[in-house]
Structure 1
């Protein structure tokens, strides 16, 4: 099994950068350190990189341009690097992070090096079905960032429906984006 993991990993990164793996009901995640970044790979693509100042910084800047006064933010999908960058801003009161693989939210922190873990009290991991979580937070967020991969399976398809976007809209406060 280790050989299979190395083959998957080396399609993107050198074998010596692979540190380990963990499994959820939805997927297997491979992780390691490469050029000072902690990287997690799922299904042949990078799903997390910490720190990720470049890409995460761009997403944060584009999102905040649409609502510069945002204080309460929800990030759905791969986005620990994005949460990390947003937490650098003093205006942010709370950031909630949900993932389409709710076990990932619960497990990933065990494998991130201590120096890269998010320990800020404003950061909240939301474990559970994203749709159910949205139903509990009506008119709460100023900004919702969907950082999802393409809809390549039935698990992801449910996040690309009118019903889901309606649910997201209902979580937004007045002038929320």
Structure 2
């Protein structure tokens, strides 16, 4: 579970902290960069809400896999075709919807694993995410300084895929809604 938290954080942190800088270096305006970041963050709200419900339907493993396997190609597409047009903003929204569900899914998974200790385990899960985000923001910044921000963003595509093996460790039946029997 914690591996999924860190892998997802590695995929979400660079756009969260460095998207505006990436766009500025590509010749976009600060205004456009702020709007792009707002679109990414706003879609994260949707992703967080949808993620929990989705994981009840397809299971925690399925939701984590869908997020990792959906985020990587969408982010790669964005990096390949980003041209500063308004048409890029809906793509960022879709990326945000795919990239953000794992936080709510891993919290639900923590509740599934230890319902008697849901508070401490949820807190530990969130703490892991926050610490990973801090460390990964610094690491991404250092990598971007060393190899360039565009190349560093391409590494983020791979970071999203690192969540796949961790998701496969989650038992398939956990989190699936059981039919109500009457």
**Which is richer in helix?**
2
What TM-score does the superposition give when structure 1 sets the normalisation length? 0.29
What TM-score does the superposition give when structure 2 sets the normalisation length? 0.29
**Which is richer in strand?**
1
Structure with the larger RCO, 1 or 2 (CA within 8 Å, 6+ apart): 2
